[in-house]
């Protein structure tokens, strides 16, 4: 979400515009990588803690949280070092060299964002753990506090101080630091679980269980990175072959627009993930206590709610694409920018209902302990379909083929999800 806030303000800064917007898009997949690791640790620990509490095993619960804290901090330091060492290669891999200005802005933004990796990963990992302790309101408040800080500081640093991409990145890092600080405070004020010194002693058996439960979330995010890499590189390749976007002054537009469309999609999916993730501790506890009928009913209600979210999003993006793109600085760009943006919104996001139901299904299966099935579905969606169609369809349809890859992937994944939902509900009913 903070990356999206940055993009809105960057887009409306006349000195940055679509060049800065494209730079933000280039860096976004690298943000998802650190999120993937944090989510694997946090969501896996959350599911494990609720299973332990449901089974009346508090000792394992507090030790798993302590281990999650240590691993999240350690992995964030390693990732920070890797990002600094391989900065140019990483930015190039995600289309950063579409033109000189884009690469310069990408490098500036990425440098400062990388400094905040430990704050970001710790805060993201602790969020589901705080929820598992029975404090969802605090988890939400900690996240919102960081987001609001980012929202307040972005215009100050970008427009008042004229710090450009650095200003957007610094505002983001300070927001992440606040979320991390609040999360650290909570660890000393837990409710259902009390941490001890022994909690932070690494236990490889516990860690393997925690990480296996969070493995689906990790692979879902990492496979999304693979899909974004394919999409962004195809946009660069086939954009260069387009009669309009092959011109140097318009070369960055397809990447900028696709980045915006993907960010809008991420806003919707964040709501979906939040609703589904909120079910994880409830499902975990009921499964641990043997109340599978309750888990089945919750699954049914969740899918209906997620479909409603998708339907509302569909109406907004299909009926009012011009208004959506205006938020991201369209008034300062050429007519080609707006035209491609409207087409991208209407094509790329036309299967939002299916996408929301698919994502909810993946996460719910994880909460039921069906990590392998959940991971398999997620990998098929993002790698087999997402990457496959992003590489194949542009050969047939050029730049428009990149847009078609999203709805085609969501339709096929929805068909698979229907079979999985049916068999899962049947199994829970029989139990």
Task: Give pLDDT tens digits for 379-408.
Answer: 899 899 999 999 999 999 999 999 999 999
Is the pLDDT at 330 greater than 80? The verdict is no
Cα separations in angstroms, 373 against 213, 254, 306, 388, 398: 12, 35, 20, 20, 34
Query: Are residues 218 and 382 in contact, defined by beta-carbon separation less than 8 angstroms?
Result: no
pLDDT on residue 364: 82
Per residue in 260-307, pLDDT tens? 888 889 889 888 888 887 777 777 777 766 777 787 888 888 889 999
- 3-class secondary structure, 350: coil
pLDDT on residue 332: 67
Confidence of residue 431 (pLDDT cuts 50, 70, 90): low
Asked which of 73-82, 279-288, 344-353 is least confident by mean pLDDT, the reply is 279-288
pTM above 0.75, yes or no: yes
Average pLDDT over residues 25-40: 93
pLDDT on residue 329: 65
> Angle of helix 2-11 relative to helix 164-187, nearest 10 degrees?
160
Phi, psi (deg, nearest 5) at residue 327: -60, -30
Average pLDDT over residues 67-73: 96
Query: Exposure of 285 by Cβ count < 10 A (0-12 exposed, 13-18 middle, 19+ buried)?
Result: buried
Confidence of residue 222 (pLDDT cuts 50, 70, 90): confident
Which residue did the predictor score with more confidence, 37 or 281?
37
Per residue in 136-178, pLDDT tens? 899 999 999 999 999 999 999 999 999 999 999 999 999 999 9
Cβ count within 10 A of residue 212: 17
Per residue in 234-251, pLDDT tens? 998 999 899 899 888 888
Q: Which of 202, 20, 29 is nearest to 11 (CA)?
A: 20
Query: Are residues 98 and 22 in contact, defined by beta-carbon separation less than 8 angstroms?
Result: yes
- The angle formed by the CA atoms of residues 83, 372 and 404, to the nearest 5 degrees, is 65
- 3-class secondary structure, 247: coil
Is the pLDDT at 356 greater than 90? The verdict is yes
Per residue in 98-122, pLDDT tens? 888 889 999 999 999 999 999 999 9
């Amino acid at each position: 979400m903070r990356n999206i806030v940055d993009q809105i303000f960057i887009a409306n800064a006349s000195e940055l515009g679509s060049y800065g917007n494209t730079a933000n898009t280039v860096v976004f997949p690298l943000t998802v990588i650190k999120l993937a690791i944090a989510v694997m640790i946090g969501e896996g620990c959350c599911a494990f803690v609720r299973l332990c509490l449901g089974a009346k095993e508090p000792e394992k619960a507090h030790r798993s949280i302590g281990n999650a804290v240590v691993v999240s901090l350690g992995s964030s330091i390693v990732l920070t070092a890797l990002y600094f060492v391989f900065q140019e290669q990483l930015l190039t891999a995600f289309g950063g060299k579409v033109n000189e200005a884009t690469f310069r802005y990408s490098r500036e933004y990425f440098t400062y964002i990388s400094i905040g990796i430990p704050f970001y990963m710790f805060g993201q990992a602790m969020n589901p753990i705080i929820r598992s302790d029975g404090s969802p309101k605090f988890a939400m408040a900690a996240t919102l506090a960081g987001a609001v800080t980012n929202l307040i500081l972005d215009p100050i640093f970008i427009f008042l101080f004229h710090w450009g991409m650095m200003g957007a990145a610094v505002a983001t890092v300070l927001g992440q630091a606040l979320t991390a600080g609040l999360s650290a405070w909570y660890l000393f004020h837990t409710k259902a679980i009390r941490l001890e010194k022994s909690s932070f002693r690494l236990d490889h058996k516990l860690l393997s269980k925690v990480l296996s439960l969070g493995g689906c979330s990790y692979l879902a995010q990492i496979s999304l990175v693979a899909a974004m890499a394919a999409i962004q590189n195809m946009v660069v390749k086939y954009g260069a072959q387009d009669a309009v976007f092959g011109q140097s002054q318009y070369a960055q537009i397809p990447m900028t627009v696709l980045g915006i469309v993907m960010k809008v999609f991420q806003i919707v999916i964040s709501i979906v993930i939040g609703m589904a993730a909120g079910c994880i501790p409830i499902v975990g506890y009921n499964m641990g206590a043997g109340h599978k009928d309750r888990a089945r009913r919750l699954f049914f209600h969740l899918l209906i709610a997620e479909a409603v979210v998708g339907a509302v999003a569909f109406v907004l993006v299909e009926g009012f694409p011009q208004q959506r793109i205006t938020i991201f600085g369209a008034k300062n760009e050429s007519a080609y920018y707006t035209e491609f943006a409207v087409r991208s919104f209407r094509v790329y996001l036309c299967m939002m209902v299916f996408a929301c139901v698919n994502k909810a299904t993946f996460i719910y299966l994880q909460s039921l302990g069906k990590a392998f099935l959940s991971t398999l579905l997620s990998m098929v969606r993002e790698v087999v379909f997402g990457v496959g169609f992003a590489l194949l369809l542009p050969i047939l349809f050029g730049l428009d083929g990149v847009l078609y890859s999203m709805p085609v992937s969501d339709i096929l994944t929805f068909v698979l999800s229907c079979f999985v939902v049916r068999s899962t509900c049947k199994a829970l009913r029989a139990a």
